[in-house]
Structure 1
Amino acid sequence: MAKSSTDTVYTYLQSQQTCQDFLYKCYQHLDGVDAATKSYENCNAFMYNMMHGRQFYANGKKLNTLLKPILFFYGMVHLLKANLLTIRPDYPESTTILAHGVSTRKRKKKDYTFMGDEVKVQHNGLFPYFSEHLFKQLRVPFEKIKMDLLFGLIPEMDSLFTMQGERRMVPVGDIGGATLRFPDSLLDHYHLTVNTFIERIRPFLPTIKNIEQTNSAAVIKLDSPLTANSGPFYVHSQDKTLYFPAAREQFIPVSEVMVHYLLLFNLSMLCRYEPEWWGDLLSSKSEADYPFIVHFLEVTAEKIPHLLGEELLNHVNFLH
């Protein structure tokens, strides 16, 4: 099986020499940074965060579902830290950044379901820090958010929602394509006219060249292909189709990496601190939560190392 480009960048950055050279080139583009000194100082931290993160994922895939969320969450944390070191040579600038940056309810209700649970974003910690510096999200557009909404922002989860008679996402184009097609039914769900809808999404698009209205859809022609994998446009990892939230309450323009972080954080907390509920879910499979959680774990195991590898690859391509 051929290696993907993200597998190749991970392989390339497995030695101290290649890591230090990579960081040196990254830091040369930052103002007021001694690239030679900082690349030397950060080389090992960058390399081991990346290596440990990938190993957590590799081991997690082999383990029972019982333990997967913990290994995937901390694997993700390591890969995020490696990415941050490419643009923040002094990371971590303070101990407040080292916290997770998100919290869950301490007590679970008697009729608790994971889909109905929520997480709360903190002002400090890794989540708001990487959201700002990696994905230019200066302000997270929610204080609390339910797991049900987060699942709905992952294209690969849409098939499960469809099976229970819901539609959370709509295919609107292809990654790298310059044409987007928004069906009239989507605009109806947003309760917006075509012009108002386009103004809503314009900040997330390249320059719009042309807008056409057919009998069933609004078709937008772009000046250049849409290549970014970030909300409100999300890419299906298998067919590279661009998906857009089907309803306005799902319009939460954040990076998909942020979505996976929040879901994995909550699942890892359940693993560690709610063994009775977690064990019962996995053994009895009585809740509708079960297939969604299992499918999500299969998706995130492959998708997050790929998405964060793409971030590193973008640096490599930029530097050359």
Structure 2
Amino acid sequence: MNFGYHEDCLDHQTGYRHPESPDRLRAIRRSLSRKHGVGYVAADHAPESAVTAVHDAGYVSAIKEFCADGGGDWDDDTVAVEATWDAALAAAGQAMWAAERALAGDDGRDTPFALGRPPGHHAVEADAMGFCFVNNAAVAARAAIDDGEADRVAILDWDVHHGNGIHDIFYDTGDVYYASIHEDGLYPGSGDIDETGEGEGEGTTLNVPLLPGCGDADYCAAIDDFVGPEFVAFDPDVILVSAGFDAHRHDPISRMRVSTEGYGAMTTRMRDIADEADAGLGFVLEGGYGLDTLAESVTMVHEVFDGREPVEPDEEVKDRATKVFADLRDQGFGEK
């Protein structure tokens, strides 16, 4: 794979013991250094105009000023320093690069993966939250459409937390399909099954809130039975995966049971869905806070595109997931 990476993302310092630290990127780089076929691209920072296409201009001015004044605690979880704004622009720029390269046809061993931080999927139109300042995947999706490179974009968010920011930004638009597989009731508490979009966006939001303890078979079934059919029917030009790895069974801040091999199985499915939809495919880093499991999982995604065939889940789909899937079918999601 080709990885978008910029040293400016290391300058966003969150303080001692904060789970979203520069060590996340360092751990990923160390793990990837032991693999062949890894390339790095330092894409341009996102222009402010691309950020204000999805974020309120007043909020952008406020967070820029906050950082210029030295930063501090934006809220209880979201910490900034002077360098945070440049890091956020760098992360958004990497996401834009991933979408651009996917749309240009980069696939297989050249599939793009944006390794940016701070993450983005919790950043709403007019606020930072959940460690996020700029909504990287949303910026990339909107830029691809506004620049005329894509008519439709689909985003799968497999981070353990619901990406309320992406959800809200595109909730009433019909040109971006947002699907999220997340732990029910976990921060930020959003992402209910009956939230399916409104107005022009009706039917282009899919929330799969799984109960704690779900793992590889449940996630893969959600992709097979719902995400895949929905995305293929939507006919996107590019699919972005908001790739958080905090549903891992050893991540310190979730109760899900996805394995490293499970992330490989999920990756093969997204590759096949993109092929069936004749869409580009790119990845954008979100969460993942166990350094070893984060690094191993990103490396697994790389290895899939380097020819590895991950082991398929051999356990049954859990009853707690089956109930969610039945509710989704009642909402009209699934096979078209």
Tell me if both proteins adopt one fold, taking TM over 0.5 as the criterion. Answer: no
Question: Which has the larger share of helix?
Answer: 1
TM-score scaled by length of structure 1: 0.29
TM-score scaled by length of structure 2: 0.28
> Which of structures 1 and 2 has the bigger CA Rg?
1
